[in-house]
């Protein structure tokens, strides 16, 4: 124990400007959960508008146009900010910032991240980006309203976009610093004996995710700089010649291309999909192995699939652009790669299902969420196939079908896995278990209402209802047959909000009065469970960590328990 | 507990943390400038033939050649300053670090004259798409130079390099990391110069 663990640190140094990976992980976790709640609230307001258009928004009606009825541009703002906040301020910081920071060093037996100060810089950069995004709601221009994709030329004309771009630059910087740190930590700080093929799946997932962030985010930063130039220095990177806006010809220097933005944007945003899903797959892998009490099925094929997913995610981006007229050759290439990338996802999902076979499954709350992830992600993935094929995508593009598809991947998929992770690692973080009854009260309604929201979107989408109509499609005859689903989905959304109340109660109650637990309440094998709960301030572990076993040695014949911790002497 | 492999290399990877970290950072920088270079190619293909070359002829090639030489020199002095630390010659280190800083400053001053000459002739980023990408690329590169200068100044001044007296090897590793970044910024210019000025 070095001398620095003995001197007293002030409150600010210890909890606010901390450089301890555990505190930074918790900072990320708390901030991103608040952003998730905020992004969810934006969606609740949108769902009210879709179900009951042209009516006064209850309670907060004074925020909207005259007489409390929402204006179309306000709806657009809510949509753009819901997407931005959920992805860049909610799910990614929770999956990579919070879980990556807190769990990865523990799982590899490291005393901290490789660069503690950089870690703090990454959090504070994220924080500033978040404040800028929130502040944009209070600017005279209002928040961004060109969708989270910010397609030009619209985004260059529309107000509020400048703040969005500046906020994004901070968020991108944060992700870069954080993922550099995670990669270096995993390569350099693994405990003795922890070889690559002994790493837990979660660490592998974070490793590949971090590479995606490091390599895919910078082109979006470049694109954000170019769009800022378009807005501020009146250049025309994304503004085509002969552009007419609101009946007036626009003065541009010429030969710009809106397609360029779409290429640069989706070069990030498709790998971003895997940034959202890989950590979730990692968490689910941990929990499945632990609660089926048997080694995860096909560990190596899962690892290779994760790596292959990472590589492939860089060459599928233009399947978001089949409708842009980029040409048949391009479309064919990208639809082929899209079909190829579905293979590793299927391998991982199959391996997880096979892991259940013959296990003696414990149905605790983390396991329920992890189990729910499997079919939900399955639905999300399978409904993606028609979108990856150019012919069917031309019909389905920009309909509610797309919304249903990617929400199945991210909401009941990734978010359920993240909830599972919170329930699973809560005892490690606080030394207390979360309440099981409240956990189940959280899970079952969430599971039902999630499907209540997103399943009807497939029906509406197949009927051709566009995703961007602020009145939910009332002005279109072809939508009239499926309009009644709007009320159903909105009520499901409100109920989903109510279903999160047990979680919030459980979260705070368990911190104070939850059942106290020892080092290893789940009888798990991975290294983080040989640290004290909570892990000690500087250095995490109270004993020296040496790894002797593979990641998931459950029920090894001849072993003294049904689990063999990685750190157990042979 | 101290974080391992700050000074000593890890046996199986043969790396120290900072060197790995800076290389990953540089990989992300490659993608950043790669995105912008791709944008350049995309826009050049979209423009009528000769448009980019026409606007490119407005640029001052002799000044840019001078700047190229200045930056290459600064890369050399950067290596020399690191090598001096390896040879435990702290005074030489300070001289070479000062020379690097001087070269960086010369580069920025020359760039300043180039920019103002353009503005003087009413050439702005909004004048043409070539000028837009020219100002964006060189501007971003200039920001990287300024960022590098801030770090170099920190290691040049006494409160930054006092670490030499307590942990010389750790300090040498830090200078090496800055050096790697500096060579990268130099390399970006080596690409920018022909692409913008000569093609």
Helix/strand/coil percent split, chain B, to 5: 80, 0, 20
Q: Which two three-digit tokens encode residue B160?
A: 């930054």
pLDDT value, residue A151: 94
Q: How many CB atoms lie under 10 A from the CB of residue A547? A: 23
Selecting from B33, B46, B124 the residue whose C-beta is nearest the C-beta of A257 gives B46
d(C-alpha B10, C-alpha A25), whole Å: 26
Question: How many angstroms separate the Cα of A376 from the Cα of each of A259, A276, A349, A491?
Answer: 33, 15, 11, 20
B135 close to A (CB below 8 A) = yes
Cβ-based contacts of B13 with chain A (< 8 Å) = 187-188
Whether A33 is in a domain gets the answer yes
pLDDT value, residue A218: 95
> In which element (H, E) is residue B61 found?
helix B61-86
B128 close to A (CB below 8 A) = yes
Long-range contacts formed by A91-94: CB under 8 A, 24+ apart: A91/A32, A91/A36, A91/A276, A91/A410, A91/A414, A91/A415, A91/A418, A92/A175, A92/A272, A92/A275, A92/A276, A93/A28, A93/A31, A93/A32, A93/A35, A93/A126, A94/A28, A94/A29, A94/A32, A94/A33, A94/A36, A94/A418
CB A370 within 8 Å of CB A284: yes
DSSP string, A285-302: HHHHHHHHTSPPTTHHHH
Q: Collapsing DSSP states into helix, strand and coil, what is residue B24?
A: helix
**Distance between B147 CA and the closest CA of chain A, angstroms:** 14
B51 close to A (CB below 8 A) = yes
**Distance between B50 CA and the closest CA of chain A, angstroms:** 13
B7 close to A (CB below 8 A) = no
CB A434 within 8 Å of CB A365: yes
Cβ-based contacts of A183 with chain B (< 8 Å) = 20, 24
Low-confidence residues in chain A, pLDDT < 50? 1-6
Cβ-based contacts of A237 with chain B (< 8 Å) = 39, 43, 129, 132-133
B21 close to A (CB below 8 A) = yes
Query: Of chain B residues 152-181, which have a CB less than 8 A from chain A?
Result: none
Question: Which residue in A has a C-alpha nearest to residue B36's C-alpha?
Answer: A222
- Please indicate whether, in this complex, the C-beta atoms of A176 and B25 are within 8 angstroms of each other: yes
The answer to whether the predicted template modeling score (pTM) of the entire model surpasses 0.90 is yes
B31 close to A (CB below 8 A) = yes
B69 close to A (CB below 8 A) = no
Residue from B12, B32, B135, B140 to probe the interface with A (highest A Cβ count within 10 Å): B32
pLDDT value, residue A6: 47
pLDDT, one tens digit per residue, over A267-292 is 999 999 999 999 999 999 999 999 99
- Please indicate whether, in this complex, the C-beta atoms of B15 and A254 are within 8 angstroms of each other: no
Q: In chain B, how long is the greatest CA-to-CA distance?
A: 63
Question: Which residue in A has a C-alpha nearest to residue B140's C-alpha?
Answer: A225
pLDDT value, residue A15: 82
d(C-alpha A369, C-alpha A366), whole Å: 5
pLDDT value, residue A3: 40
Orientation angle between helical segments A258-292 and A328-356, nearest 10 degrees: 10
Sequence-ordered list of residues with C-beta below 8 angstroms from that of A317, at least 6 positions apart, any chain: A263, A266, A267, A269, A270, A271, A334
Cβ-based contacts of B34 with chain A (< 8 Å) = 218-219
Cβ-based contacts of B140 with chain A (< 8 Å) = 225
- Please indicate whether, in this complex, the C-beta atoms of A114 and B42 are within 8 angstroms of each other: no
pLDDT value, residue A62: 85
- Please indicate whether, in this complex, the C-beta atoms of B132 and A112 are within 8 angstroms of each other: no
**Distance between A323 CA and the closest CA of chain B, angstroms:** 19
pLDDT value, residue A203: 98
pLDDT value, residue A217: 95
CB B100 within 8 Å of CB B72: no
pLDDT value, residue A246: 86
Q: What is the CA radius of gyration of chain B?
A: 19
pLDDT at position B106 over 90: yes
Q: What percent of chain B has pLDDT over 70?
A: 99
**Pairing state of beta strands A248-249 and A244-245?**
antiparallel
Cβ-based contacts of A217 with chain B (< 8 Å) = 28, 31
Selecting from B17, B42, B128 the residue whose C-beta is nearest the C-beta of A184 gives B17
CATH number of A227's domain: 1.20.210.10
CB A235 within 8 Å of CB B132: yes
Fold of B60-198: 1.20.120
**Which residue is associated with the tokens 């605790």?**
A364
Q: How many CB atoms lie under 10 A from the CB of residue A259? A: 19
Nearest to A153 by CA among A39, A251, A290: A251
B53 close to A (CB below 8 A) = no
pLDDT value, residue A5: 45
Selecting from A187, A218, A264 the residue whose C-beta is nearest the C-beta of B28 gives A218
- Please indicate whether, in this complex, the C-beta atoms of B39 and A253 are within 8 angstroms of each other: no
Q: Which two three-digit tokens encode residue A6?
A: 């003995």
pLDDT, one tens digit per residue, over A342-396 is 999 999 999 999 999 999 999 999 999 999 999 999 999 999 999 999 999 999 9
- Please indicate whether, in this complex, the C-beta atoms of B127 and A253 are within 8 angstroms of each other: yes
One-letter-per-residue 3-state SS of A445-513: HHHHHHHHHHHHHHHHHHCCCECCCCCCCCCCHHHHHHCCHHHHHHHHHHHHHHHCHHHHHHHHHHHHH
- Please indicate whether, in this complex, the C-beta atoms of B3 and A114 are within 8 angstroms of each other: yes
Interface contacts A/B by beta carbons within 8 Å: 140
pLDDT at position B138 over 90: yes
- Please indicate whether, in this complex, the C-beta atoms of B31 and A219 are within 8 angstroms of each other: yes
Selecting from B35, B127, B132 the residue whose C-beta is nearest the C-beta of A229 gives B132
Number of domains chain A contains: 1
Sequence-ordered list of residues with C-beta below 8 angstroms from that of A172, at least 6 positions apart, any chain: A217, A218, A220, A221, A224
d(C-alpha A332, C-alpha A337), whole Å: 9
Q: Which two three-digit tokens encode residue A389?
A: 């094929």
pLDDT at position B57 over 80: yes
Handedness of CA B147, B148, B153, B154 (dihedral sign): positive
**Distance between B36 CA and the closest CA of chain A, angstroms:** 6
pLDDT, one tens digit per residue, over B147-175 is 999 999 999 999 888 999 999 999 999 99
Whether A557 is in a domain gets the answer no
Nearest to A527 by CA among A513, A512, A510, A547: A547
Q: Which domain, by its residues, includes A351?
A: 24-240+252-530
Selecting from B3, B35, B132 the residue whose C-beta is nearest the C-beta of A236 gives B132
pLDDT value, residue A229: 95
Cβ-based contacts of B36 with chain A (< 8 Å) = 222, 225-226
- Please indicate whether, in this complex, the C-beta atoms of B35 and A253 are within 8 angstroms of each other: no
Whether A331 is in a domain gets the answer yes
Residue from B2, B58, B125 to probe the interface with A (highest A Cβ count within 10 Å): B125
């Amino acid at each position: 124990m070095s001398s620095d663990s003995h001197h007293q640190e002030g409150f600010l140094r210890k909890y606010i400007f901390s450089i301890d990976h555990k505190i930074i992980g918790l900072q990320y976790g708390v901030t991103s959960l608040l952003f998730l709640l905020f992004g969810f609230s934006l969606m609740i307001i949108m769902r009210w508008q879709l179900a009951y258009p042209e009516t006064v928004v209850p309670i907060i009606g004074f925020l909207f146009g005259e007489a409390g009825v929402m204006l179309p541009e306000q709806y657009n703002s809510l949509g753009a900010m819901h997407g931005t906040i959920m992805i860049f301020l909610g799910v990614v910081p929770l999956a990579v910032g919070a879980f990556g920071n807190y769990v990865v060093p523990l799982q590899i037996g490291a005393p901290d991240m490789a660069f503690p100060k950089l870690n703090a810089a990454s959090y504070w950069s994220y924080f500033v980006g978040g404040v800028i995004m929130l502040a944009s709601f209070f600017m005279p221009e209002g928040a961004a309203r060109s969708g989270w994709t910010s397609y030009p030329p619209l985004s260059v004309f529309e107000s509020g976009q400048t703040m969005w771009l500046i906020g994004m630059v901070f968020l991108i910087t944060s992700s870069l610093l954080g993922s550099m740190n995670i990669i270096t930590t995993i390569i350099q700080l693994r405990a003795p004996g922890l070889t690559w093929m002994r790493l837990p799946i979660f660490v592998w997932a974070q490793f590949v995710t971090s590479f995606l962030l490091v390599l895919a985010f910078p082109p979006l930063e470049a694109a954000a700089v170019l769009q800022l130039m378009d807005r501020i220095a009146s250049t025309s990177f994304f503004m085509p010649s002969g552009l007419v806006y609101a009946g007036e010809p626009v003065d541009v220097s010429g030969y710009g291309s809106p397609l360029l933005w779409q290429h640069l944007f989706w070069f990030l945003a498709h790998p971003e999909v895997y940034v959202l899903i890989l950590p979730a797959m990692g968490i689910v892998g941990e929990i499945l192995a632990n609660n089926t009490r048997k080694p995860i099925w096909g560990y190596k094929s899962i690892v290779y699939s994760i790596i292959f997913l990472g590589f492939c995610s860089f060459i599928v981006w233009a399947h978001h652009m089949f409708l842009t007229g980029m040409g048949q050759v391009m479309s064919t290439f990208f639809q082929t790669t899209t079909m190829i990338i579905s293979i590793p996802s299927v391998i991982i999902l199959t391996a997880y299902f096979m892991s259940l076979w013959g296990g003696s499954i414990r149905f605790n709350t983390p396991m329920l969420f992890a189990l729910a992830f499997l079919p939900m992600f399955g639905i999300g993935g399978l409904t993606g196939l028609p979108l990856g094929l150019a012919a069917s995508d031309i019909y389905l593009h920009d309909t509610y079908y797309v919304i249903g598809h990617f929400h199945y991947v991210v909401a009941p998929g990734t978010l359920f896995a993240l909830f599972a992770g919170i329930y699973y690692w809560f005892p490690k973080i606080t030394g207390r278990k979360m309440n099981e009854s409240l956990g189940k009260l959280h899970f079952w309604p969430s599971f039902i209402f999630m499907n209540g929201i997103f399943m009807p979107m497939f029906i509406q989408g197949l009927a051709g209802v566009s995703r961007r109509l602020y009145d939910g499609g009332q002005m279109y005859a072809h939508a009239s047959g499926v309009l009644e689903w709007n009320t159903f989905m909105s009520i499901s959304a409100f109920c989903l909000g109510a279903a999160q109340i047990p979680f919030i109660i459980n979260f705070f109650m368990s911190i104070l009065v939850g059942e106290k637990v020892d080092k290893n309440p789940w009888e798990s094998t991975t290294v983080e469970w040989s640290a004290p709960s909570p892990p000690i301030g500087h250095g995490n572990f109270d004993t020296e960590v040496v790894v002797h076993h593979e990641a998931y040695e459950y029920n090894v014949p001849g072993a003294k328990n049904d689990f063999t911790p990685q750190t157990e002497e042979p | 507990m101290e974080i391992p492999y700050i000074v000593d290399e890890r046996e199986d990877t043969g790396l120290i943390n900072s060197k790995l970290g800076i290389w990953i950072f540089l990989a992300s920088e490659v993608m950043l400038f790669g995105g912008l270079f791709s944008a350049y190619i995309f826009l050049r293909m979209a423009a009528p033939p000769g448009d980019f070359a026409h606007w490119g002829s407005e640029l001052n090639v002799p000044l840019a050649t001078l700047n190229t030489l200045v930056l290459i020199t600064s890369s050399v002095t950067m290596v020399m300053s690191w090598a001096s630390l390896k040879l435990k010659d702290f005074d030489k280190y300070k001289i070479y670090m000062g020379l690097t800083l001087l070269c960086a400053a010369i580069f920025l001053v020359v760039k300043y004259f180039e920019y103002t000459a353009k503005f003087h002739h009413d050439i702005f980023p909004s004048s043409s798409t070539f000028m837009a990408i020219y100002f964006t690329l060189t501007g971003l590169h200039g920001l990287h130079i300024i960022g590098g200068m801030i770090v170099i100044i920190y290691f040049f001044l006494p409160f930054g390099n006092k670490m030499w007296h307590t942990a010389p090897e750790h300090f040498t590793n830090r200078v090496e990391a800055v050096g790697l970044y500096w060579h990268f910024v130099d390399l970006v210019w080596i690409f920018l110069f022909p692409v913008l000025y000569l093609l």
